Structure 1
Amino acid sequence: MLCCIIGLTLMIPGLALFYGGMVSVKSSTNMMMMTFGAVASVGLLWVLFGFSMVFGTSYGGFVGSLTEFAGMKDLLEPMTTVDGLPISLFAVFQALFAAITVALISGAVADRMKFGAWMGFATLWAVLVYFPVAHWVFAFDGVVTENSVGGWIANTLGAVDFAGGTAVHINAGAAALAVAIVLGKSAMFGQLRKPHNVPLTLLGAGLLWAGWYAFNGGSALAAGNSAAIVMVTTFVATCAAVLAWLAVEKIKDGHVTGVGAASGAITGLVAITPACGAVTPVGAIFVGGIAGAVCVYAVGLKTRFGYDDSLDVVGVHLVGGVIGTLLIGFFASEGMPNGVNGLLYGGGIDQLWKQAVAAGAVMLYSFAVAYLIAFALKKTVGIRVSPDEEEQGIDAKFHRESSYDWQPV
């Protein structure tokens, strides 16, 4: 678990590089700072009361106690454990889930959102959306204390989400759609938005791929057979998604791209996240391949419906998360760690409808609250940079620095 925490931490620069390479050079530092800023803010919130809201004793299955583990002061005793692990270690592992989920949303607002407004949004969304939703999905009864009561998706509904398809990807994707709608279209919307540095994006995707083994495998909470199986399904689903994305890209556009390979990898990782402990390796190939093929088209929904999701958070994370969550209902096998059968393994539609309810509930809640947060910030402090600031670049206007120094030595 200590190694998994290091792996998850590598996802911070991974996400920053992945997003930073895809935006224009004049806003790439800002884009990367959104990741670091979100992680720093959520980290403090997590220790103060976030862990308690997620894993504290539940109020009706909706949210944990705000004060039960406030400050985490009662979780530092040597004998306090979760499945034999120190709770403090489990808490840091889960803190990185929270931080990375919030940072994912920033890809939808590239090149046009004020940094201060982003920090305000990230803070409010973490408290009002991520912490409650993570409680729904991750807080199993008795996970922290013997008598603690957890969230409704994990315990009452019984939907399967091994590592966060609902709590992380659908959650962040729905919020990205909401804030993109409130923020409005960038000046470049409808035009070809060229990444300023494709190698950075590929490097970021590679770091995310590496960190995702910690993301998924670490959710087994032990270096055992379950973690090993999860790493296999994570690997093969990602491979399938890359190939599927590139194949569709070739058929659709006549060429394959580096950004397509990176996006395909992330799509496969997103889709397999909820399913990694439920499907066989062959099932994982189907999960990754289907997601990779569908999400190529899903990223084009923004042009059709007129919302400016700059870096395709909706097309990759929301759509990919929904695909992975629903496909559990088809490809799950009881021989895998989650121990449930999907429709194709004789399980009927029972698991499928549970997955659909979980995905729909998270999507609707996250979208609605994110929209209200973004709208409130828009009407009070303002969230959009001016047209001149957008033209000149956020790096120069807001941060007084550029990503690259072009001056001769």
Structure 2
Amino acid sequence: MNFLIVVQDLRISGTSEGIVSRSFISYLKKAYPNAKIDLEYFKNYESNDLLQLLPVDSINEYIINRRINPLIIWINWIFWRVFKISLVEKSLVNKYRKYIKKIKHEKYDYVFIRSSGQGYETVLACYDLPILKKAIVNFHDPYPIFWDTGSDKTLSNLELYRLKQMWKIVQDARICISPAKLLSEDMEHLYGSNKKFFTLPHQFDNEVFEEIKSQAARKRKKNLVISYHGVVQLGRNLDILLDAYSQLITEHSSFLKDTEFILRIKGKHSKRLKLKYAECKNIVFLETIYFNESSYEQKMESDIQVILENCSPHSNILVGKAPFLASLEKAVIILSPPRSELRFIIDDDKYIASCTSKDEIKVKLKCLIDEGLMNKGQKYLPFNSYFSEENFRIRLNRILEHY
């Protein structure tokens, strides 16, 4: 059995797509240990991604310069207004397309196309190409970005242009998949497709990462550590959680003495948050670090992990860190809207609180802190076996049976 994977992010720096794409490759090999796996890897700059850790037979790497010729940008100003076609986006996508069209896809039994970020360049580059007819296309997030409820985009003609482009790709692709049940349902509806979007959840496999005892990891200074490592974006409400924690340590002297909240964050709200909570000694902001260092810190020096879903009326994506946190077997506090992918996955609601209710967050967080202080070292399985190799294999086989 021969697999081809077109992929856009295999970085080890800590990007969600880099983590889950590497883990997908590893789980695929474990599901089909005798299969041949080849990669076509598109990236934007030279980097050491430790590709030797991936269980593949060959890798072709391409460095794509995303800079657009200023002349094209100038011409696009007129061209878009007359023809409603974005030359800027076509120019960028064509940089990927010129390589993808040369791939000899005929020799493979299955072709997976994965993208990253908001651009979906590797997917859009397959528009009207023969490879699309046998491609399993992965939608990691809503596309166009306007349909992401955490986005501040408006419904512009450019977003409708993107929708039209992707609609044709959905019609022509062999199979479409996404990592979230709700996202699969929403994409089916958005694209008016009679083609089922299958759900293949994100994965995490530490075998494709270099595990190190990091000198950058912060040693705990309290008996119980709550931690959040990630980006504050797309409607994620970190303020309400920190406000709830601040009130808890004010109301309970033992929490003030025995707990701390460690954050390694980035995003446009980082500076504001650091200033807002600068006077609280139990809330500690640190610089972001590479994933292999961050994962070590969360594994060894943390007790309660935080997941922030998009705090709009619904969150239809599966956050990339969920399978990693599941592998730690630690307690989690999840802030979610009413319609949420993680509410679908988590059975015990002690781990989930409304992202708009400070009172509920305080109750849930207090219970987890009390339990953590009383039962140090206890293992937790909030996600049960949802991210297991077995569940991956079952779902993957179901997809390939429809190929």
TM-score (norm 2): 0.27
For CA contacts below 8 A with separation 6 or more, give which structure has more relative contact order. 1
Specify which structure has the higher proportion of strand: 2
Specify which structure has the higher proportion of helix: 1
In our comparison, the structure showing a higher alpha carbon Rg is 2
